Amino acid sequence: MKIYWTTINGKSLGMYFLLGVLAILAAAGLYATYAMFSQGHYITGMNNQIPWGLPIVVAIYCIGLSAGSLVLSALSAVFGQKEFKPFARIAVFVAALFLVGSLLSIVLDWGRPDRVMLPFLYLNPRSIFSWNGFLYSSYIFICIVYLWAMFTGRDGWIKPMGILAVCWAVGVHSGTGAIFGFINARELYYSPLASPTFVVAALSSGTALMILIIVSTFKATGRFLDNRLITGLAKLLGSFIMVVLYFVIVEYIVRLYTPSTCEPTRFVLFGGNLYTYIFWVGLILLGSIVPAIILFNPITKNSIPWISFASLLVVIGVFCERLIFVLPGQIFPLNLFPDMEMTSSFMDGQITWYQVSLPEIAQGLGILSIVAILYVIGLKLFALLPTEARHLEHEL
Amino acid sequence: MKRRDFLKLGGIVAAASAVTPASSLLYAGKTTTSAIKYGLVIDLTKCDGCGECATACRIANNVATSPDNEKINNYWLRIARVKSKFPNSHEQAIPLMCMHCDNAPCVHVCPVKASFVRKDGIVMIDKHRCIGCRYCMIACPYKARSFVFKHNEGFSNPDVPKTMHGVVEKCDFCVTRIDSGRMPVCVESCKKGVMSFGNLFDPESQVSRLISSGKVHRVREDLHLGAKVYYLGL
């Protein structure tokens, strides 16, 4: 079956309304960013105890969505799942956009974003950030070449580019996990499992987000979407959720078992604080168990509304996983003198809560809005969507 | 040359320029040798935690200060109070600052090499190169680093750089004083002679003699960072 690719019309009232709302959110985000630099970063919830707050969570979350959606496009090109070809272009495009979003979030989180070119001038071979600067920028480049190959019909290029893009996506996400996993100083960061966990969480959240994007975009633009394609993706999503859950369980059990990491782990899992609820309710219950029940239950697993709901839960659940990864490792104090009690005027030995501030929330929403605006404009300018997405089975 | 060939060539050049920087990631930085390696020995048996070194440090180094908001009040040197978890245990005052590690995690993680180890072992920050990503603050196990959250107008010492909003700062062993032949201000300001500063490579120096007594320890030696701040009586 030949797939015909078209742009969207993009002249409906709803479209202008959507773009208007997104533009307001983006403007608010940019203003919040401006306020951080003109007044100082003290207006954020970050402080010397918690130097990384919501912007880093948003950044690594966007990278996850990016790497995950790219793998979706490779399903048809690399793994021979030809029925997913109608989603190939949009998946690569979304992957590139979320990488732009994550780079925006990282750079605007710096104290000096005006020095954005310095990481490319002074590479530090031992710095994971240096590696990531290289991986992320080349990843966007690979996505663009991959899209170009698809648009110009260079079928010989598609498979090699797809393989390269999948390898790069794994590298990008391992690199993101390594930002935390290589930090020996912090008990809740240091872990060889950090990189693999980030990769599988990326697959899970990326697939879930692509289901939401595809279902909503096809519905909004009145395109036919074969239910079997979505249920096929939902099957994948169900297994990704299980793998993430397994990795999380292994990681936390090892940490609970080890005396040196037991105390901070108990603080997260059984401390009765906000992060305890984020872990048990956000990640385990709503982010993993409920969607797994929906996706494996024979009554709900073929229903598009149920699958969309499960995908939404997974998208939120993986965000909770990112929060749990980034924040408690800083909130729980550094252990300078093991087994001793320590106090000082610099908040040593005390738990310092992170209170997320309005500018950070506005900035995060603004960056996601910029990604959404670029998505809509991209659909308008480039023929990313097929006229219809049919399952190939009866054709073959 | 046809247009298509020209575009192909352009693509190859672009791809090559994206890949070339990666090659420089493959070999590690070179190590340098020097006849001087500075270190500090802090005799905790003499320290009563009066905090004069911390005050002197704040004034001498233009440390970013926010008295109204302790969460963004920066510290280059702080006095920690440590005791065991058992009742009636003795509380020990311990001055903490940058430990100037040989294998400094902050230097390892810095994406722009703004943090670096000078030939004489002092870990320093190039404030004009720092991008303010704060990865070093995440990586430092001693919490030695502070981010300047706010533009500070006043500065107490014109001989050292002003604080700069958006970059990270920390103890540099008062490098401008050392380079003009003076002692770090914490060493000089302590009236009880708690701190000794000197060249670890010089067997006659006070620090070498104290370290060779075998009674010194460093904070979190288990991390193998090669810290150069030693404590007597830790």
**pLDDT per position as a tens digit, A310-347:** 999 999 999 999 999 899 999 999 989 988 999 999 98
Query: Measured between alpha carbons, how far is A156 from A105 in angstroms, rounded to an integer?
Result: 35
SS3 A388: strand
Residue in B closest to A331 by C-alpha = B138
Query: Measured between alpha carbons, how far is B140 from B107 in angstroms, rounded to an integer?
Result: 9
A111–B148: do the CB atoms touch at under 8 Å? yes
Q: State the average pLDDT over residues A4-32.
A: 91
Query: Measured between alpha carbons, how far is B72 from B169 in angstroms, rounded to an integer?
Result: 12
**pLDDT per position as a tens digit, B46-88:** 999 999 999 999 999 999 988 888 888 899 999 999 999 888 8
From chain B residues 8-27, the ones with a CB under 8 A of any chain A CB are: 11, 14-15, 18-19, 21-22, 24-27
The pLDDT score that the predictor gives to residue A392 is 67
Q: Which residues of B touch A111 (CB under 8 A)?
A: 130-134, 147-148, 165-168
User: Which pTM does this prediction carry?
Assistant: 0.89
Percentage of chain A exceeding pLDDT 90: 74
Q: Is residue A89 part of a domain?
A: yes
The CA radius of gyration of chain A, in Å to the nearest whole number, is 21
Q: Which residues of B touch A186 (CB under 8 A)?
A: 138, 141
Q: In sequence order, what are the residues at sequence separation of 6 or more whose Cβ sits closer than 8 angstroms to the Cβ of residue A67?
A: A95, A169, A170, A172, A173, A199, A202, A203, A206
Higher pLDDT among residues A88 and A257, named by residue? A257
Q: State the average pLDDT over residues B99-108.
A: 95
Higher pLDDT among residues B139 and B14, named by residue? B139
Query: Measured between alpha carbons, how far is A384 from A240 in angstroms, rounded to an integer?
Result: 26
Q: What DSSP line would sit under A77-144, residue for residue? A: HTS--GGGGGGHHHHHHHHHHHHHHHHHHHHHHSS-GGGTTHHHHS--TT-HHHHHHHHHHHHHHHHH
Query: Measured between alpha carbons, how far is A357 from A32 in angstroms, rounded to an integer?
Result: 10
ipTM of the shown complex: 0.91
How far does A208 lie from chain B, in Å, by closest CA?
30
Q: In sequence order, what are the residues at sequence separation of 6 or more whose Cβ sits closer than 8 angstroms to the Cβ of residue B132?
A: A110, A111, A112, B147, B166, B167, B168
SS3 B195: strand
Query: Tell me, what DSSP letter sits at residue A315?
Result: H
The pLDDT score that the predictor gives to residue B6 is 62
The closest of A102, A128, A120, A114 to A182, measured between CA atoms, is A128
Interface test with A, best of B71, B94, B99 (most A CBs within 10 A): B71
Q: Does B28 touch chain A (CB under 8 A)?
A: yes
The pLDDT score that the predictor gives to residue A396 is 44
Q: Is residue A172 part of a domain?
A: yes
A273 exposure class (CB count in 10 Å sphere: 0-12, 13-18, 19+): middle
**pLDDT per position as a tens digit, A78-116:** 888 888 888 989 999 999 999 999 999 999 999 999 999
Q: Domains of chain B: which residue ranges?
A: 29-84+99-232
The pLDDT score that the predictor gives to residue A6 is 86
The pLDDT score that the predictor gives to residue B23 is 44
The closest of B138, B152, B75 to B108, measured between CA atoms, is B138
C-alpha neighbours within 13 Å on the C-beta side of residue A328: 27
Q: Is residue A394 part of a domain?
A: no
B27 pLDDT tier (thresholds 50, 70, 90): very low
Residue in A closest to B133 by C-alpha = A110
How far does A320 lie from chain B, in Å, by closest CA?
20
Cα distance from N-terminal residue to C-terminal residue, chain A: 8
Residue A9 corresponds to which tokens in the numbers above? 């019309």
Residue in B closest to A185 by C-alpha = B141
Query: Measured between alpha carbons, how far is A319 from A356 in angstroms, rounded to an integer?
Result: 15
> Average model confidence (pLDDT) for chain A?
91
Report the number of distinct structural domains present in chain A.
1
Q: Is A293 a residue whose pLDDT tops 50?
A: yes
Query: At A307, phi and psi to the nearest 5?
Result: -65, -40
The pLDDT score that the predictor gives to residue A362 is 97
With beta carbons less than 8 A apart as the criterion, state whether A188 and A328 touch.
Answer: yes
Q: Does B29 touch chain A (CB under 8 A)?
A: yes
The pLDDT score that the predictor gives to residue A359 is 95
Query: Measured between alpha carbons, how far is A59 from A193 in angstroms, rounded to an integer?
Result: 20
Q: Is A57 a residue whose pLDDT tops 60?
A: yes
Higher pLDDT among residues B25 and B137, named by residue? B137
The pLDDT score that the predictor gives to residue A326 is 93
Give the CATH number, domain containing residue A121. Answer: 1.20.1630.10
Residue in A closest to B130 by C-alpha = A112
Query: Measured between alpha carbons, how far is A17 from B187 in angstroms, rounded to an integer?
Result: 65
Q: Is residue A395 part of a domain?
A: no
Query: Measured between alpha carbons, how far is A141 from A9 in angstroms, rounded to an integer?
Result: 28
**A41-50, A80-89, A250-259, A298-307: range with lowest mean pLDDT:** A80-89
Domain residues for the domain of A134 are: 5-389
Q: In sequence order, what are the residues at sequence separation of 6 or more whose Cβ sits closer than 8 angstroms to the Cβ of residue A281?
A: none
CATH of B29-84+99-232, one of 3.40.630.30, 3.40.50.300, 3.90.550.10, 3.30.70.20: 3.30.70.20
How far does A53 lie from chain B, in Å, by closest CA?
11
A268 pLDDT tier (thresholds 50, 70, 90): very high
Residue in the block written with tokens 């004034």: B59
The pLDDT score that the predictor gives to residue A390 is 80
Q: Is residue A261 part of a domain?
A: yes
Residue in B closest to A124 by C-alpha = B111
Query: Measured between alpha carbons, how far is A68 from B150 in angstroms, rounded to an integer?
Result: 38
Residue A342 corresponds to which tokens in the numbers above? 């320590």
